[in-house]
Structures are given as C-alpha cells and as structure tokens.
A = this chain, B = another copy of it.
Amino acid sequence: MTTNSRDRALRERARAVIPGGMYGHESVALLPEDFPQFFSRGEGARIWDADGNEYVDYMCAFGPNLLGYRNPAVEEAASAQAALGDTLTGPSEAMVTLAEDLVSMISHAAWAMFCKNGSDATSMAMVLARAHSGRRKILVAQGAYHGASPWNTPNPKGTLPEDRAHILYFRYDDLDSLRDAFRQADGDVAGVFATPFRHEVFEDQFLPSAEFARGARQLCDDADALLIVDEVRAGFRLARDASWSLLGVEPDLTTWGKVLGNGYPISALLGCEKLRAAASSIYVTGSFWFSAVPMAAAVATLAVVRTSDYLERMIARAEEMRKGIAEQAAAHGFGIRQTGPAQMPQIFFADDPDMRIGYFWAAAAVRRGVYLHPYHNMFATSALTEADIAKTLAATDEAFAELKRAWANIPPQPNPAVLARIKAKALLSPR
C-alpha cells in the first residue's frame, strides 16, 4: 500500500514558491494523481518517492540513469575528483580524457565540446552549422523535440516568430518531404536535424528506414549542408557508437546529453574534422561547462560502455519485459502497441482515444511499485535485474486484471491539458 502524505505536503509547499507547483518535464501536471511528484532516493533500477514508496523505475530520470543510480564505478570516479575539486578557474585533465574517449568511440567525431543541457548542445549545433556555411535555414522534423530554447521549445509562449524565422519543417522518415524542404530553402540550408528514431510524447515511436537515413545523408551532401543527429535522448541505448552507425550513416554533428555522466550534469556536441574551424569560431560558454566532476563521471560511464555488456543486458531485460507485457495483454484481452526499441519503450492501448485506459493501467502499476509512464517514452537501465523484471511483470499482470475489472466504469480522461496535447498531436502526427 503506497502512502502519499509527504508528497502532498511538499506539493502544497511547492505551490507557494514554484510557479504552477512545478515546471518542465518532471512536472506531474499531465499524470494521474497516483504518480508522486517528489523523490528521495535512487539505487540501481529502483527509486523511492518522498513517502518512502519503492518503485522499479522505467523513466531513469528521463534518460540519464543508464548504468543504475549510484553506479559504483561512476560514483567512485566522481568522488575521487570531488575530493580534489569540481568547478575551478580552469578545466581539468578529465576534460581532455573525456574528449579523447568520445573521439575514439564515436566514428564521425574528430572533436568534442562540452556543455550542461541537451538544449545547449542542439543550439550550439545550429549556431555552428550557420557559422560553417554562412547559410541560415535549419530543417527540423515536424513535432520533434530538440530542446526547450526559443527556437525549438514545444510551447512557443513567450517566443517570437523571429526565433523560428529560418527553421523549416519536414515529416520524419519521409524523404520526399525532406527534399521539399530543401527545395523550399532554395540553397540556404545550413543543417538538418534528426533524432535517431521517432520518440515523441503522446505518439507511437518508430525507427526510420535505412533509406531515409541514407537519403538524408545524400541530400545533405548534395547541398553541402550538415547532417545533425540529436542523440540526447537515445544515445548509448541503441549502440556504443552514434545511433545511425547501425544504418551505416555518419552524421556531421551529434548532440549528446542525459546518459553521458550517468546522471551527472554534462552534455556534448561532437563534430567531424571539417567543422573544427567553425567550432572554434563561435562563442559559447557556461559557468559550469568546465567542471571536473561530471567529466570524471562521464569518463567512468564511457569506460563501462566500452568494456561491459551493459547494452546487451539492458536490451535482453527490456525485451523480456516487452514479451511478458504482450502476453499479459493478450491473456487479459487488451490490444496494446509497444513501440520503439524495447529499451526505450512506449506503450499505448488500442481504442483509447482519450488515453483513459493507458492512464488507468500505468497508475495501477505505479500503485504496485512499478513506475511506468503513460505518455512519454520510457527508459531501461542496465542495472535492471531478473528480480526487477519479475516484480514488474507481477505488477503489470495485476494492473491488467484491475483494468479488466474496472473496464466499463473508467471515467473519461479528466485532465483538459492531456486532452489538449492529444488533440495537438493528432493534428501534427507525422504518420
């Protein structure tokens, strides 16, 4: 039985001093009431909320938790660096080592620049693409998330048309649409952004065809434009190299974040040799961009990425979970769609236009100690154990059973903000 009195009290206090009680992607404003807002602890694949309720966590802090919360190798490296210093008057050796490691691991990369937010890396990529070519247009897939800066935030409130004056949109995984955008830009394309696969909120996920990825590469080459793959969300969960290495495509720039330091705050822009001069011509910086501890943590994270079977283990556990949930859904008589790579799953119910069913099921799992998300893609960690999967599948099975009992009486989606997002997505939907 979960309790939530401490979470309620914290929400009340937060409402007084934080606009709307919370903001950004970790706000629970679009989630059912059963989802806690505040957390107290993490270890491996588990998190504890402010009331001490324990969960197998399939959000992984919205990505960063690649190797397990408080992974011993990462914590040891971070602690050793912290004992010396973190934010100093100049960078540390760890910055050089980290850049060397990334350049050695990511095929297209000849250099690295570090920053803090994923948005820093994507904005730097945009500025760099323009600096390199002197051209203005940036092509972005319609509805794709590349950060929350004025040029790309999904909610344009407070931004101006000028912020997107030279952003053109195409349909993801649609080469004709991308070709049209190039034509529309009339020789003025600086760069094309793409995520490794389509992973948007309130949408089924899908992988692009190899034909699209290769075609995008070719269109960029033909127009002397840069291909920028935004790995912030998917990096190191599909491959140990850039994600499109699986499709035989080398980007010019990749943007990284989230997993890079296994939770320590660091993001990066990696680029190919021909962009080195442009990269040193732009002025970008931040107060904490040179801090040593997140870099030491990233060096340790990458060592695990290179030398362990973290990826194969993560995928095996995630596929076991996917298979189990598919079997349970069928056994209970529900149609579900599990989309995207198993290790970054999105689960939606058939015939669920206002998402009342998916919300009910996820909340039922949360009440049973398994933190699933009803509208955002989830994330697996390599720290998931057989016991975690067993606990997960026991909880989801009970959640399906509870759903079946409640089926006819589930009230309509009560959250107008959720309904608005669903409607907006239906209008935008790329497929």
Residues in A lying within 8 Å of B, measured CB to CB: 10, 13-14, 16-20, 22-26, 28, 36-43, 47, 49-50, 57, 59-65, 69-70, 75, 82, 84-93, 95-96, 99-100, 102-103, 110-113, 116-120, 123, 126-132, 136, 148-151, 153-155, 157-160, 162-163, 165-166, 232, 257-258, 263-265, 267, 271, 276-291, 294, 371
Are A89 and B26 touching (Cβ within 8 A)? yes
- Chain B residue nearest to A291 (CB atoms) is B265
A50 to B128, CA, bound (A): 30
Residues of B within 8 A of A288 (CB): 64, 116-117, 265
A18: chain B residues within 8 A (beta carbon) = 95-96, 99, 111-113
Report Cα–Cα, A232/B139, bound state, in Å. Answer: 34
Contact yes or no, B19 A284, CB < 8 A: no
Query: Contacts A103-B17, A287-B258: A39 and B117 contacting too (C-beta < 8 A)?
Result: no
CA distance A128 to B158 in the complex (A): 6
Is A264 a contact of B86 with CB atoms below 8 Å? yes
Are A39 and B88 in contact (CB-based, < 8 A)?
Answer: yes
A150 in contact with B123 (CB, 8 Å): yes
Give 15 A-B pairs besides A39-B85, A69-B85, A127-B150 with Cβ atoms closer than 8 angstroms. Answer: A13-B96, A17-B99, A26-B290, A38-B91, A39-B88, A39-B90, A39-B91, A64-B87, A64-B287, A116-B288, A117-B287, A119-B286, A123-B149, A148-B285, A153-B284
Closest-CB distance, A224 to chain B (whole angstroms): 16
Total copies of this chain within the assembly: 2
User: Do the beta carbons of B117 and A10 come within 8 Å of each other?
Assistant: no
Instruction: Kindly name the residue among A40, A113, A288 whose own CB sees the greatest number of chain B CB atoms within 10 A.
Output: A288
Closest B residue by C-beta to A267: B287
Known: A93-B40, A100-B13, A287-B232. A86 touches B263 (CB 8 A): yes
Contact A91 B166 (CB under 8 A): no
Could you tell me if A88 and B113 are in contact, using CB atoms closer than 8 angstroms? Answer: no
Is A286 touching B96 in the complex (CB atoms < 8 A)? Answer: no
Q: Are B148 and A149 in touch, CB under 8 angstroms? A: no
Chain B, residue nearest A55 (CB): B89
Bound CA–CA A162/B14 (angstroms): 37
A160 to B134, CA, bound (A): 10
**Quick one: which of A19, A65, A86, A148 has the most chain B CB within 10 A?**
A19
* Chain B residue contacts of A23, Cβ below 8 A: 113, 279-280, 283-285
User: Bound complex: CA of A257 vs CA of B153, how far in Å?
Assistant: 22
16 A–B contact pairs at CB < 8 A? Answer: A10-B96, A13-B100, A18-B112, A19-B111, A20-B279, A23-B280, A23-B284, A36-B90, A38-B92, A38-B93, A40-B85, A40-B93, A41-B88, A61-B87, A157-B283, A258-B287
Give the chain B neighbours of A43 by CB distance below 8 A.
85
Q: Flag if B113 contacts A116 (CB, 8 Å).
A: no
State in angstroms the CA–CA spacing of A279 and B20 once bound together.
8
Q: A36-B90, A88-B47, A89-B47 are in contact. Are A14 and B99 (CB under 8 A)?
A: yes
Q: What's the Cα separation between A121 and B60 when bound, in Å?
A: 26
Chain B positions within 8 Å of A117 at CB level: 116-117, 120, 286-289
Enumerate chain B residues within 8 angstroms of A282, measured Cβ to Cβ. 153, 155, 157-158
Alpha-carbon separation in the docked complex, A153 to B149 (Å) = 15
Q: How far is the CA of A149 from the CA of B119 in the complex (A)?
A: 11
State which of B128, B285, B291 has its C-beta within 8 Å of the C-beta of A24: B285
A286, B148: Cβ atoms closer than 8 Å: yes
Q: Are the C-beta atoms of B157 and A287 separated by less than 8 Å? A: no
A26, A65, A90, A148 pick with most chain B CB within 10 angstroms? A90
A249 CB to closest chain B CB (Å) equals 23
- CB distance B19 to A280 under 8 Å? yes
Q: How far is the CA of A263 from the CA of B59 in the complex (A)?
A: 28
